[in-house]
């Protein structure tokens, strides 16, 4: 996947949010400058549509995880609107990515260079770079 030089790379799951920068070439990403923004996952309306009866009975819907994804999207929205982010790649597990998409502002959408629906939180930087390069 082509990721512009200096693009932000947001790595998200239901509990973790890390933002890095691509200091490498567009087809040879090198990630650095890891930052873990402080989120206040307050959007607990997130995921209400996922609350089907079976999901509630089996405990498969965790509103806090979905709220975390919504809060990450809101943080990215604010940075895109203020012009602090010009290009962004989002890597998130499928459930979190689906929730985040519901909260994208049009300004963030216009700055997206791509999305990868894969869980990479906790992986080494080298492994994440390989996931990006092979996407």
Question: In three state form, how does the secondary structure of 74-106 look?
Answer: HHHHHHHHHCCCCCEEEEECHHHHHHHHCCCCH
Residues 106-132: tens digit of each pLDDT: 999 999 999 999 999 989 999 999 999
pLDDT value of residue 60:
56
- Which regions of the chain are under pLDDT 50? none
Altogether, the residues listed in the chain come to a count of: 135
In order of 16, 18, 91, 124, the CA distances from 85 in angstroms are 20, 14, 16, 24
Q: Which two tokens stand for residue 103?
A: 């909260």
* pLDDT given for residue 66 in this prediction: 81
pLDDT at 55: 54
| pTM for the model | 0.86
Q: Looking at the domain covering 8-134, what would its CATH class be?
A: alpha beta
Q: Measured in whole angstroms, how far is the alpha carbon of residue 84 from the centre of its chain?
A: 16
Specify the pLDDT at position 58: 55
């Amino acid at each position: 996947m082509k990721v512009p030089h200096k693009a932000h790379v947001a790595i998200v799951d239901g509990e973790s949010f890390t933002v890095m920068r691509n200091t490498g070439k567009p087809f040879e990403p090198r990630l650095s400058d890891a930052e873990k923004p402080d989120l206040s996952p307050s959007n607990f309306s997130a995921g209400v549509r996922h609350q089907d009866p079976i999901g509630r009975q089996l405990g498969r819907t965790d509103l806090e995880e979905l709220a975390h994804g919504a809060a990450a999207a809101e943080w990215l929205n604010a940075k895109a609107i203020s012009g602090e982010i010009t290009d962004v790649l989002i890597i998130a597990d499928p459930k979190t990515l689906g929730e985040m998409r519901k909260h994208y502002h049009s300004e963030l959408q216009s700055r997206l260079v791509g999305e990868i629906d894969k869980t990479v939180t906790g992986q080494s930087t080298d492994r994440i770079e390989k996931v990006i390069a092979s996407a």
